[in-house]
Structures are given as structure tokens and as C-alpha cells.
Amino acid sequence: MVDRPGTGLMSTARAGGILVAVLLSLLVALPYVASSQQEEPFTQRVLGTLITLPDEHLPALMQLVGILDIDEEARLGLLELPREFLANQELVAPISLPSDEFQITILDFSVPLDEIEGPWFGVAEPLDELAFDLKGVGVFYGTIGVFIQEAVEMDSPVARGAAEPVFEQQKEDMLRFISERLAGDTLERLREVMKDLERMDPMDSQRLAFLENPREYLLGHELTLPASRYRIVALDFDRAAAVGTVHAAEIRAGLAVVPEGIGVFSETIGIYVQQAI
């Protein structure tokens, strides 16, 4: 069963002021933390995106992805006009992501890989007895990307396909995921690996190896992301563009985006949000 508008978002909205205050205090503290405990700027950038994103939007995106998994017509509408669809759809609460604040990237995973020449994405799933949280953190760097989701128990209320999903306190949950599961220099190292892959020729064997086995590739580059804790999605946007499986709502001219962002990915559709600067 999928929650409908108004069933799980109001309490999140009421708690929004408290959450923003907490996140702002963390951002103010981070420069000191960086000098004293080697805190990396990746965390600051993700926190910045979380603060800018309205409190109700992350839960709404989680609700929406669950609906889009089974509603093909709505999914096509999102792929055609991502920003307009999110703002105007009535499946969940409206999701307004202005072009001067956010870039939106939509990934269509419903296209079978065996119908195209080579993969445009690869997935390292959690252990068989685990599910995955829909929301996650990513790095989209030029023509290459990676998205990481937390592995959870099958009966977890945030698991993909949960009978009664819980959409409250998702920002707090994301903060916990980053601070507890992706601590230290893990995220900054991930960014460096993406930069290295971006510099390679599109047909380089290492880029293909990344798509074929994301977990093993990252392990070979000093990033340990075990199947007991993570789901990893590897993305090649050159290949995706060639087959029409990536759709972007660009930012306003004159702005740039940070590579790091947050998103919601199911087995069928992915919605990724990056902050404009």
C-alpha cells in the first residue's frame, strides 16, 4: 500500500524548523570539525542540499517513486518534463524544485540492458536477505555517477516495497546514514574515484569494469562498501544518453551544480537532486 498526500507529511513539516536549526548548527560547526577532526567538505555539501530542500520534499519523492514503479503513464510524464511534472503532479504533495536552486536528473531503469550495446548502469545489490532504503547519497561527476543506498531488513518501514512505508523524519535519517555509515574520508575518496573515471575514455575497460561490478571496482580503489550495508548503483551517462534513459531538468544559465547530491532510486526509476550554486 502506498501512502497518499497528507498521510505522512504534516508531522515532518511541523518538525521542519527544528531540523533546519539542527542542520544549520552542524554546518556552522563543520569548519571547526574540519580543522580538528579531518571532516571532509563532501558532508558540508550534502548538508547544504538537505537544508535547501524543503522538509516535505524528500518524503514526497519517496512516496512518488513507489507510485511510479507501477504507473507507467505517470512515469513517462516525469521522463518528458521532470521539473514541471514534479511541481504539478497530484499523486503526492507537489514537489517544487526551482531551476535556480536544483538540477534534477531522472534515470529510467525499466529499459532492459540486453536491448542495448553494453550496459549503461550496474547494480551491486545488498545480501539476499536484505532490502534497501529508497533514498541515498550520490556523486554525479560529468559523464559518470554512483549512488549509494543503505541496506535494511526486509521488514524495515523504509525498505523498497514495504507494506506500510514510513515517510517521516527522512532528513534526520539521511543525516544519520551519512554520519554513521559513511564516516571519515569515504565520501571524499568516492568523489576522487569518480573524477578519475570521468577523465577516462568512454570505452576504457575500467569504466566498463565499474559498471559490471561496482562493489568490486570500488574495493580495488580502497573503498569498502559491503553488501551487508549498502546497495551501489554505477552509472555511465554517455551510454545512458545514447539510449535515452537519462533525462535532466537543467539549472538556470550562469549557475553550476555540486557533484554530490541526494536522491530516491527504485529498481525502475531514479530521481537525483543536486544543489545549484
Do residues 168 and 19 touch, judged by C-beta distance below 8 A? no
* pLDDT for position 12: 40
Residue type, 153: E
0.75 exceeded by the pTM?
yes
Q: Return per-residue pLDDT of the chain as tens, 277 residues.
A: 333 333 333 344 344 444 444 444 444 333 333 333 344 577 778 778 888 898 889 989 998 998 999 999 999 999 999 999 999 999 999 999 999 999 999 999 988 775 556 789 999 999 999 999 999 999 998 899 999 999 998 877 666 555 455 556 788 888 888 878 776 678 888 989 999 999 999 889 999 999 999 999 999 999 999 999 999 999 999 999 988 899 998 888 888 888 889 999 999 999 999 999 8
The pLDDT of residue 242: 87
- Other C-beta atoms closer than 10 Å to the C-beta of 93 total 21
- C-alpha cell, 121: 548502469
Q: Hey, which residues does 261 pair with through a beta bridge?
A: 138, 274
Pairing verdict, β 246-249 and 257-265: unpaired
Give the span between the Cα atoms of 220 and 156, in whole angstroms. 31
